[in-house]
Amino acid sequence: MAILGAINPMLSLDLDGDNAWRLADYVKRGGYTALRRILEEKQTQEFVINEVKKSVLRGRGGAGFPTGLKWSFMPRSFPGDKYVVCNSDEGEPGTFKDRDILRYNPHAVIEGMAIAAFAMGASRGYNYIHGEVWDIYERFEEALDEARAAGFLGSNLLGSGFDFELFAHHGYGAYICGEETALLESIEGKKGQPRFKPPFPASFGLYGKPTTINNTETFASIPYIINLGGETYLDAGKANNGGTKLFSISGHVNRPGNYEIPLGTPFATLLDMAGGIRGGRQLKACIPGGSSSPVVPATAMMECTMDYDSISKAGSMLGSGAVIVMDETTCMVKALERLSFFYYEESCGQCTPCREGTNWLYRVVHRIETGRGRADDLDLLSSVTTNIMGRTICALGDAASMPVQSFIKHFHDEFAYHIEHKKCLVPVEVQRAGSGFFTATA
Amino acid sequence: MLTSESLKRIDREIAKYPADQKQSAVMAALAIAQEQQGWLSSEAIECVAGYLGMAPVAAYEVATFYNMYDLQPVGKYKVSVCTNLPCMLTGGVDAGEYLKNKLGIGYNETTPDGLITLKEGECMGACGDAPVMIVNNRRMCSWMNPEQIDQLLAELK
């Protein structure tokens, strides 16, 4: 069982056993009834889009954009090819929920994509899967074969006259392909460099055709919304934050893993579910929504509930629901140094402010961490971030800048100490002990 | 230079895309060529480009952009360790150091017997399983404490 804990789960309900991912098991727990109902009862596209709007399902990939609204942007009656694309290129540090959804409940994604395709008049879809999780890609291919054989994919689905073909496409190591237009470029067989917007994918997407891209968890939630009704799904979460969500908890907790909870659940409850902080130590800070979201200090974090609005009020973002927990053994300069290196490595190189700026951010944080920091380095970092933000085609530059700004804002003293004393406030032995590597037992 | 087996697998990938969009199969085709050869030579890249009807430079752009393609020969086993922040907090960096000591090599180096190449990887999307490492782009190894790493190394012969 992959999902370590849950409160009122939907997506992770009854996933026990090695065959939970198989079509037969999915059908046994009510799978494909939503698609069947829509096609057999001859529901309209408007009905489906309205249910999704009523559910206030917000995109689970990071941006939190209302899914129903996104779907309504598609020119449904546009003649010719239209596409639905699933973004399973899960590479945001801290995020590992889509891997488990695809591993244990892949048919929910397939059914959700088929329903989405019906609602938007698309006849072809692709699921872009992170190249590093190869076993998941292979399993998804197998799940697709099962769905084709059972008539849930292909032409004339369940005798309705509606056609939908779905295929898996794998990435091969590029974080930027999680950006939706870079992902489209990548499916087209090119470098994954984001496109300038507008035009948006709904008018000019894959191969220049109308396209809607949603996250894996978003698609997987669709069958549950249709079965329960949009309003019931909304009530499972809280106002403006419909439904339950998977949270990936990593870092200094006793039981890192995925947890499904209603949006609006207190962070303290989630932390308890994950077994609390390792070794009875104190929480220092938390990155609540994947590495690109601003860091939140312990006290503020403990007051948050896990939903888009509460985390936003605390000055950060719910993002993909990836909660990186850091305890008192963490050196914040070292933590930021590693993140900055990541963005420098993964900048696609297209926009100068990001290509050059992420390099500057990494080199300056690196020299602070290695005891060569200069008195005006914090001002320099701040100036580099303001010169990146808002000046690039995609959000990677902003994503690289926000951690820098928030780490320095909340842990200014720690950075200043590093610069002045050429060493860390947290002794290296303490940091090492914090990782638990040398004391771990199998 | 691609075997008929590799070409058959590439054909299966091409069939996923509209007939006039063969280029979409380039990522899969390069991965298949790399599996066959152990790494991606310029010759292999050009061969893939020719098969898909693309300019060689377009295939070369893809091969150099995505970091799981190896444009230089690597050892029989390529071990990539994730050291990104969530993994670092629970031993990813330490696991990398442990491997370096055990193998007597640094990142991007290969053991003298040509058996193992060590790489520092970026987020593999498995942060809850840290420390994690991937062998030959395919096999993900989770919760790699010193004992588990020793076992893995004993197995990679």
| Domain B4-65 identical in fold to domain B77-156 | no
- Cross-strand bridge partners of residue A214: A86
| Last residue in a domain, options A270, A299, A327 | A327
Phi/psi for A432 (5° steps) reads: -65, -45
CB contact under 8 A, B21 and A207: yes
A246 Rama sector, left if φ>0, alpha if ψ -120 to 50, beta otherwise:
beta
Q: Are residues A295 and A360 in the same domain?
A: no
d(CA A117, CA A162): 9
Residue A440 lies in a domain: no
Q: Are residues A156 and A275 in the same domain?
A: no
- H or E element in which residue B37 lies: helix B26-37
**Minimum Cα–Cα distance from B133: chain A residue:** A132
Q: Are residues A164 and A106 in the same domain?
A: yes
Q: Are residues A229 and A354 in the same domain?
A: no
Q: Are residues A180 and A272 in the same domain?
A: no
Which residues, given as ranges, of chain B have pLDDT below 70?
none
Q: How many domains does chain A have?
A: 3
Determine the pLDDT at residue A442. Answer: 39
Residues 6+ apart with CB under 8 A from B135: B77, B78, B79, B141, B152, B156
State the amino acid at position B39 in one-letter form. W
Asked if residue B47 belongs to a known ligand binding site, the reply is no
Residues 6+ apart with CB under 8 A from B130: A250, A256, B82, B86, B87, B89, B90, B91, B92, B143
Residue A232's nearest CA partner among A57, A387, A86 is A57
Please check whether residue A395 is in contact with residue A346, taking contact to mean a CB–CB distance below 8 angstroms. no
d(CA A170, CA B151): 30
Please check whether residue A198 is in contact with residue A41, taking contact to mean a CB–CB distance below 8 angstroms. no
Q: What are the CA-CA distances from residue A69 to residues A37, A66, B106, B154 (Å)?
A: 23, 6, 50, 54
Query: What's the CATH code, domain B77-156?
Result: 3.40.30.10
Instruction: List the single residue in B26, B61, B134 with the smallest CB-CB distance to A132.
Output: B134
CATH code of residue A278: 3.10.20.600
Q: Are residues A151 and A286 in the same domain?
A: no
Count helices and strands in chain A by DSSP H and E runs: 19, 12
Residue A315 lies in a domain: yes
Structure tokens at A57: 């399902």
Residue A50 lies in a domain: yes
CATH code of residue A409: 1.20.1440.230
d(CA A50, CA B28): 38
Q: What are the CA-CA distances from residue A20 to residues A282, A300, A388 (Å)?
A: 38, 39, 46
With 0-12 CB in 10 A as exposed, 13-18 as middle and 19+ as buried, what is A413? exposed
Residue A131 lies in a domain: yes
Residue A441 lies in a domain: no
Determine the pLDDT at residue A272. Answer: 96
Q: Are residues A265 and A230 in the same domain?
A: no
DSSP string, A237-255: SBTTB-SEEEEEEEESBSS
Q: Are residues A80 and A203 in the same domain?
A: yes
What length does chain A have?
442
Q: Are residues A382 and A422 in the same domain?
A: yes
Instruction: List the single residue in A94, A131, A256 with the smallest CB-CB distance to B68.
Output: A131
Asked if residue B141 belongs to a known ligand binding site, the reply is no
**Minimum Cα–Cα distance from A99: chain B residue:** B125
Structure tokens at A170: 């794998």
| Last residue in a domain, options A300, A327, A354 | A327
Residue A405 lies in a domain: yes
Determine the pLDDT at residue A14. Answer: 86
Structure tokens at A177: 């392909």
| Last residue in a domain, options A236, A268, A296 | A236
**Minimum Cα–Cα distance from B141: chain A residue:** A133
Q: Are residues A28 and A159 in the same domain?
A: yes
Q: Are residues A290 and A158 in the same domain?
A: no
d(CA A307, CA A255): 21
Please check whether residue A3 is in contact with residue A260, taking contact to mean a CB–CB distance below 8 angstroms. yes
Asked if residue B87 belongs to a known ligand binding site, the reply is yes
Residue A439 lies in a domain: no
SS (HEC) of A396-430? HHHHHHHHHHHHHHHCHHHHHHHHHHCCCCCCHHH
Rounded to 5°, angle at Cα B48 from B44 and B54: 130
Does the N-terminal peptide bond of residue A199 adopt cis geometry, omega within 30 degrees of 0? yes
Name the percent of chain B in helix, strand, coil, to the closest 5.
50, 15, 40
Divide the 442 residues of chain A into consecutive groups of 10 and give the mean pLDDT of each group: 81 89 96 96 96 95 93 92 97 95 97 98 97 96 98 95 97 96 98 96 97 97 96 90 93 96 95 95 96 96 95 95 96 97 97 98 97 96 97 96 97 96 90 82 43
Determine the pLDDT at residue A256. Answer: 96
User: Architecture of domain B4-65 in CATH?
Assistant: Orthogonal Bundle (1.10)
Q: Are residues A143 and A160 in the same domain?
A: yes
Strands lying side by side in the sheet with B133-135: B109-110, B116-121, B77-82, B133-135, B139-141
For an interface test with B, which of A96, A175, A215, A320 has the most B Cβ atoms less than 10 Å from its Cβ? Answer: A96
Phi/psi for A87 (5° steps) reads: -95, 95
Count of Cβ atoms closer than 10 Å to residue A207 Cβ = 17
Structure tokens at A246: 């998977």
pTM: 0.96
State the amino acid at position B140 in one-letter form. M
A349 SS3 class: coil
Domain range annotation of chain B: 4-65, 77-156
For an interface test with A, which of B26, B35, B80, B84 has the most A Cβ atoms less than 10 Å from its Cβ? Answer: B84
Domain interval for residue A423: 332-430
DSSP string, A262-329: ETTEEHHHHHHHTTSBGGG--EEEEEBTBTTSPPEEHHHHHT-EESHHHHHHTTS--TT-EEEEEETT
CB contact under 8 A, B140 and A92: no
